[in-house]
Amino acid sequence: MTFFGRYGGQFVPEGIHFPLKQLEEQWNTFIKSGKFEEEFQKICASLGFQKPQFLTVKKIIAGKDIVLAHNHAIFTSIILQLIFSKSVKKSTVLHAATSIETALISAMIAKELGIPIEIFLKSRKLGDESINLVRSLNANITSVDESPYPIPALHAFQKWLFNPSNTYPLFEEAIGPSPIPSIVKESFFPFCNKIKSSYTELYGGKPDLIILSCDYTSSLAIADYFLENDARKIIFIERTRADERREVTEFLGGITEVINPGSPAQRPIPPELCYLFDQGAIERIRVGQEIESIGELIERIVRSSKIFFTDSRIYYAIKLAAEASCKYENILIFFEPNSLRCLPS
């Protein structure tokens, strides 16, 4: 096994260096040609991902608006990789899915493109209804729960090793080790390009502070893109282990601040309390000064915008954005769309 390359590196046997290099060359030709754009935009439009979706929390702190962006990066990455696999005539896609949502998206698009797909995922916590829905889209599902190493990416990679010429490994993680870390990372860039241009058009200027309040999978690619495109600072909020925090910091050159609200000392509001607040069971959270200030912030957001986030990281991100607004002119927060709920007027 060898190590080489950026973004976490590629750990692959010597025997597949040639097909791997060939795949990367095909990707470079594909991405530079732009021939995928029409099909890519058509599929994105059919799923509601064509235009970046921004949410503005109006003048909640010192009269300043806070702008948030729906993070559809992982879905657009899957779409682009599937179009690529079709363009290079791969007979089967091997998708290492991180959730039932991404499995469903890949199954839908693969069926539309006429590509056979096998999806590797942890299915133990998923209901039969979800699994059957994915299977109804002609996708083969391989559960990894009973394996000594229940990691979807490991199983997809292992199967790809036996037939690298005719299969395509669809990975979601934007950092290695994996066979194709640069391809995965670059598959996020069309989404990032749209975000940057639309933000500039709507709000003027480019975001110089990015706060990532979304999952580990796509955050690294978004961060890397914006670090190369004018952002002065990235703040990365996630639930993560200590070794992953170190990996993230090294990957981003040590200039990104990593905040872990998963620890009891830093995480201001447990999801259970967020859910209770959403249901109207509590009106204000008063458990220490910091949590109280976040609780008041939640109330102001809900009152002014009629929206509620079930992920406490987003409120923490908004609080950080407010504190940083004196130093940064254009602040953009990324969040996962499934953490947003609209409340009745």
pLDDT at 335 over 70: yes
18-32, 168-182, 323-337: range with highest mean pLDDT: 18-32
Pairing of strands 307-309, 54-61: unpaired
| pLDDT given for residue 293 in this prediction | 58
| pLDDT given for residue 111 in this prediction | 93
Neighbours of 112 (CB within 10 A): 15
Same fold flag, 14-40+76-186 and 48-73+188-342: yes
pLDDT band at 345 (very low <50, low <70, confident <90, very high): low
Residue 34 in 3-state DSSP?
coil
| pLDDT given for residue 343 in this prediction | 63
Task: State the Cα–Cα distance between residues 307 and 152, nearest whole angstrom.
Answer: 35
List b or e across 237-266, with b for residues whose CB sees 16 or more CB atoms inside 10 angstroms: bbebeeeeeebbeebbeeebebbbbeeeee
pLDDT band at 174 (very low <50, low <70, confident <90, very high): low
Write out pLDDT tens, residues 13-57: 777 778 888 888 999 999 998 888 889 988 888 887 777 788 877
Pairing of strands 256-259, 307-309: unpaired
pLDDT band at 176 (very low <50, low <70, confident <90, very high): low
Percent share of the chain, pLDDT over 70: 73
CATH class of domain segment(s) 48-73+188-342: alpha beta
Compute the C-alpha angle 204/210/213, nearest 5°.
130
Phi, psi (deg, nearest 5) at residue 92: -150, 140
Task: State the Cα–Cα distance between residues 29 and 178, nearest whole angstrom.
Answer: 21
Domain boundaries, the chain: 14-40+76-186, 48-73+188-342
Task: State the Cα–Cα distance between residues 206 and 240, nearest whole angstrom.
Answer: 29
R_g of the chain computed on alpha carbons: 21
Task: State the Cα–Cα distance between residues 102 and 14, nearest whole angstrom.
Answer: 31
| Burial of 137: CB neighbours in 10 Å, binned 0-12, 13-18, 19+ | middle
23-27, 60-64, 335-339: range with highest mean pLDDT: 23-27
Kindly report the pTM of this predicted structure.
0.79
Q: The CATH number of 14-40+76-186 is which of 3.40.47.10, 3.30.450.40, 3.40.50.300, 3.40.50.1100? A: 3.40.50.1100
Judge if the upstream peptide bond of residue 271 is cis by omega within 30 degrees of 0: no
